[in-house]
A and B are shown apart, each in its own frame.
Chain A
């Protein structure tokens, strides 16, 4: 299967540090991109860094690993800036200090946590230095003032702290501090590959339940060697596309709210509900929970006949097109969105942003094409690529992706089963340490799940990468030199998950 890959850790010895560095440099400059970078402690006091890359060709996965000292390693941000947040995460979880890191602040643990608390580091390993405190970047100069927003916001939204340094209305620097939703979800995964892990994955980020659970279930299927049949894969992809449509509708509605455009807010809010109700008909839950089981889909999935679903989608599509065209063509909307919150293609490429954020800034990455699951192998949805990088581009990408999803859905629902077959390479042989990686394009971008599996098919380390984790720094770049009153609309145009980042 091209969306799941298994690496035999027994055969691949750790690389020398320079070779690992070259591997990461290659992900920054070459055609393959970094998918995940995480630490593991296979035995007390021994630390490995695993990196997975790929995507230059459909189903291409590359792997490298390096052993580090139990205290620190030299930062890789100089050769691969995209590892920036990964290294902060490794520092937080394992106490391995990335030396020379440009902005080493705790990512998850604020002052209320004990300074010597490194949750994934075993107690037998040598004690590391206490965690250093958080230091905000201080901007100085005539008329510079700071505005602090959050972590508690004026609305029922997730917690996060934003520290703006402004000269008048203009934002000079935005520092984003997260971690308020840390729940230790990665440490709940180790153990046997059973059904409970799917339920866990559904709550990584509530609005991406289908995306995360699909990535997780394929990984579990690869471990247990129980692949799903093509019909189940088809319904997974259908649910994933409807999840994409519902969230894109919700975001376009949210963007309308933030610029005070009532028409878009009202109608896209309604259409989001209609799309969620379709997920309810299919899976029995508005957010698509309960869709997946190891080796297939839930017993009551799908709760709707393909013909009925097609009719409903047809209606939804017509309305979505009307409302979306009205919104994106309104002059007052264009004035607000065009040129606002511009994320330059160079930044998107250098920091390896993913998903629709990247595609609105000219970075051509889409896991449905690069790591296709069986339903996408032959005809992934039409690729949408814009390069303006502003709020308008991200709104347009959402609109065009919804159209592409509707097209793809009508194709797959009208046609017979997708002819995609399950390749045996996803199946883990019984013995030895393995690394299993599963990639799926959620509505925000690519979701990467990776698991280190021991000889008894038990998960010993589980790593989740939500696209939000990759894209949060993009917001800081996009709002620079914008006026602070445009921050909410910039923020909404990314609409990143806090829960998926804080893990």
Chain B
């Protein structure tokens, strides 16, 4: 029962978060924008559509979308969203490698159709994720050190004692995770989810050949991943919210997701996308922040 509720909340919050990001961007550029519930309608539309697939695609292509969605839901089951009790407590190393699984299948699917754009997107996606990996591992190590636990749910939901509300390493780790949120979820400044230009795309180029139900599953999985990262960032900053009684904790989780959507939208509206060659420096900054957080924790 709890498992179902947990996963359902993730699935419902994913499109909502995407909708909130888009609405914020529209608001900040003085436009009306579509309703925050538009992504639900888009998904509904896609789920009813047939699939057009490349004649040169193999079973890897057919398998990719279900694997992407499935792996994302397993990850969601291990992430604390409204309670520190999660249906599936998971060691953080396993968590990190399960995060790589959908990407592996998605890059293979991008290559599988043989289109130039798919290959372009896949090679970029792999480059970005390879560069993001040190920062991810370091910050998860930092969290584990900080929280004194090695499961994701255990280490996120810990309030370290201290005189000030947030210890410096907590702020540093939250900052790192936010930088990684933008990089791992194909947001500005690393990628532009709204672009129509295939040549500049990273994530979108890879999934260009997916259609219908497959595309819906991939979009749903992207939403779930975005919620997952938001939950980790807000869990680091506001662990108290995870100890609330259920009837308060669930609304609090929704509020946290909406707020992080507004923050992502504000970042996206405020700056241009980086040059592709600069992504390495961006991820290096995230790595350095995580390393500093670790050493601050070690010293203090």
State whether these chains interact: yes
User: Do the beta carbons of A149 and B28 come within 8 Å of each other?
Assistant: no
With known contacts A261-B271, A336-B273, A266–B29 Cβ distance under 8 A: yes
| CB neighbours of B270 from chain A (8 A) | 263
A169 to B278, CA, bound (A): 13
With known contacts A146-B116, A262-B29, A333–B272 Cβ distance under 8 A: yes
Q: Which of B106-114, B176-184, B187-195 contacts A (4 or more CB under 8 A)?
A: B187-195
Interface extent on B, as a size class? Answer: 20 to 34
Q: Which of A51-59, A232-240, A347-355, A484-492 contacts B (4 or more CB under 8 A)?
A: A484-492
User: Do the beta carbons of A260 and B273 come within 8 Å of each other?
Assistant: yes
A19 to B192, CA, bound (A): 56
| CB neighbours of A145 from chain B (8 A) | 116, 119
A336 to B279, CA, bound (A): 12
With known contacts A146-B116, A263-B29, A332–B199 Cβ distance under 8 A: no
| CB neighbours of A146 from chain B (8 A) | 116
| CB neighbours of B285 from chain A (8 A) | none
User: Do the beta carbons of B200 and A335 come within 8 Å of each other?
Assistant: no
User: Do the beta carbons of A149 and B269 come within 8 Å of each other?
Assistant: no
Select one of A270, A340, A488 contacting B199, CB under 8 A.
A488
| CB neighbours of B125 from chain A (8 A) | none
A-B CB proximity, top 5 nearest: A266-B29, A260-B273, A261-B272, A260-B192, A332-B271
| B5 contacts A by Cβ under 8 Å | no
Q: Nearest residue in A to B269 (C-beta to C-beta)?
A: A262
With known contacts A261-B271, A336-B274, A149–B29 Cβ distance under 8 A: no
A484 to B275, CA, bound (A): 11
User: Do the beta carbons of A262 and B116 come within 8 Å of each other?
Assistant: no
| CB neighbours of A155 from chain B (8 A) | 196
Nearest-CB distance from B268 to chain A (Å)?
A: 7
A145 to B271, CA, bound (A): 32
16 extra interface residue pairs, beta carbon distance < 8 Å, beyond A146-B116, A265-B29, A340-B275: A148-B116, A154-B196, A155-B196, A169-B276, A257-B195, A260-B192, A263-B269, A263-B270, A266-B29, A330-B272, A336-B274, A484-B199, A485-B124, A485-B199, A488-B197, A489-B200
| B198 contacts A by Cβ under 8 Å | yes
Most buried by B among A145, A260, A265, A340: A260
User: Do the beta carbons of A483 and B197 come within 8 Å of each other?
Assistant: no
Most buried by A among B29, B124, B270: B29
Nearest-CB distance from B122 to chain A (Å)?
A: 13
Q: Nearest residue in B to A259 (C-beta to C-beta)?
A: B272
Q: Nearest residue in B to A492 (C-beta to C-beta)?
A: B197
Select one of B188, B197, B276, B278 contacting A154, CB under 8 A.
B197
| B30 contacts A by Cβ under 8 Å | yes
Q: Nearest residue in A to B268 (C-beta to C-beta)?
A: A262
A485 to B124, CA, bound (A): 10
| CB neighbours of B269 from chain A (8 A) | 262-263
| A311 contacts B by Cβ under 8 Å | no
* Subset of 24 A-B contacts with CB under 8 Å: A147-B116, A147-B117, A169-B124, A169-B276, A169-B277, A256-B272, A258-B200, A260-B194, A260-B195, A261-B272, A261-B273, A262-B28, A265-B29, A330-B271, A332-B189, A332-B273, A333-B272, A336-B275, A483-B276, A484-B120, A485-B199, A486-B275, A488-B200, A489-B200
A145 to B25, CA, bound (A): 37
A485 to B165, CA, bound (A): 43
User: Do the beta carbons of A335 and B31 come within 8 Å of each other?
Assistant: no
A59 to B192, CA, bound (A): 48
A260 to B124, CA, bound (A): 18
| CB neighbours of A335 from chain B (8 A) | 272, 274-275, 278
Contact with A along B251-272 (1 / 0, CB 8 A): 0000000000000000011111
Q: Nearest residue in B to A333 (C-beta to C-beta)?
A: B272
Contact with A along B194-209 (1 / 0, CB 8 A): 1111111000000000
| CB neighbours of A149 from chain B (8 A) | 198-199
